[in-house]
Amino acid sequence: MFMGEYQHNIDEKGRVIVPSKFRDSLGSTFIMTRGLDQCLFIYPSEEWGVLEKKLKALPLMKSDARAFTRFFFSGATECELDKQGRVNIPNNLKSHAKLEKESIFIGVSNRIEIWNKDVWEGYFNQSESSFNEIAEKLVDLDFNM
């Protein structure tokens, strides 16, 4: 399980250190792809396999299902860490998440998200102000804390 928030800078070659607390759970190779809300998603290979099965099960005849599947698979790339614990972020993914220098890694249960620091802070501040409202809506989905 991934949890926590960590800040790391992206170097001039597009590499960034993956937080040490996340490395062991990632395994030797993992998948990085476009995420929602203008971030990147990183999945351990096993978790990617679970998501892949779900995406494959979507009805091919539905345009929304095709679009969503294309969004995830077209941006997906298999990655591995170098000896210093860094990962190279491909240019198309850096562009999607507006990653330049300062990045934020957050653990979100079965995946890691990488955010542009400013985008994350804006998203977090906006979400924090409506957290109680969001929590009330989750009760309707049979979620209780």
Q: Decide the pairing of beta strands 111-116 and 40-44.
A: antiparallel
| Residue 6 confidence (pLDDT) above 60 | yes
Q: What is the Cα–Cα distance from 85 to 6, expressed in whole angstroms?
A: 14
Q: 34 has which bridge partners?
A: 40
| Architecture of domain 2-116 in this structure | 3-Layer(aba) Sandwich (3.40)
Instruction: Report which secondary-structure segment, H or E, holds 97.
Output: none
Q: What is the Cα–Cα distance from 35 to 85, expressed in whole angstroms?
A: 22
Q: Identify the residue with better confidence: 48 or 139.
A: 48
pLDDT attached to residue 140:
74
| Residue 143 confidence (pLDDT) above 70 | no
Q: How far is CA 131 from CA 70, 80, 84, 122, 127, in A?
A: 31, 35, 37, 14, 6
In tens, the pLDDT along 15-41 reads: 999 999 999 899 989 999 999 999 999
Domains of the chain, residue spans: 2-116
Q: Decide the pairing of beta strands 40-44 and 86-88.
A: unpaired
